[in-house]
Amino acid sequence: MQPGTGVLYQNPQFINIETFNFDVAGTSPCINSGSPDIIDDDGTISDIGAYFTSNLPCSNQGDLNNDNTINILDITLAVCVILDDSFDNCNTQCGWDMNSDGLYNIIDIILIIDIIIN
């Protein structure tokens, strides 16, 4: 098979195929590699795959998936980052150090929870 336009021969960098998480890591070659005739919600060229990865800067501290809502999904991502020590494997859209101490730990999760309940 010859390489062609729109054909990807690189590892798509799925988050976790064993658990059927086919979201892609932030470094995936699928990002901004889809049809140039289709524009994603963030104004960039479409991504290859079912979900797009936002290239917009984070606008809300604690909103790890950058969906403009701070909720349990953000806490789940925070736990993933702490346990895995990697933003890419956890598919976070935004970095977060809630107390600016240079660490990602339970204190950051507590501060996210405080935002949710207050």
Does the pLDDT of residue 13 top 50, yes or no?
yes
Does the pLDDT of residue 9 top 60, yes or no?
yes
114 pLDDT band, cuts 50/70/90, is very high
So what's the pLDDT on residue 110?
A: 93
Q: pTM of the full predicted structure?
A: 0.52
Query: Mind listing the pLDDT tens digit for each residue in 42-70?
Result: 788 888 887 777 776 676 788 887 777 88
Q: How far apart are CA 26 and CA 14, in angstroms?
A: 10
Q: How far apart are CA 110 and CA 106, in angstroms?
A: 6
Does the pLDDT of residue 36 top 80, yes or no?
yes
Query: Mind listing the pLDDT tens digit for each residue in 71-81?
Result: 999 899 888 88
Query: What share of the chain has pLDDT > 70, as a percent?
Result: 82
Query: Mind listing the pLDDT tens digit for each residue in 79-108?
Result: 888 887 666 667 666 767 788 777 788 998
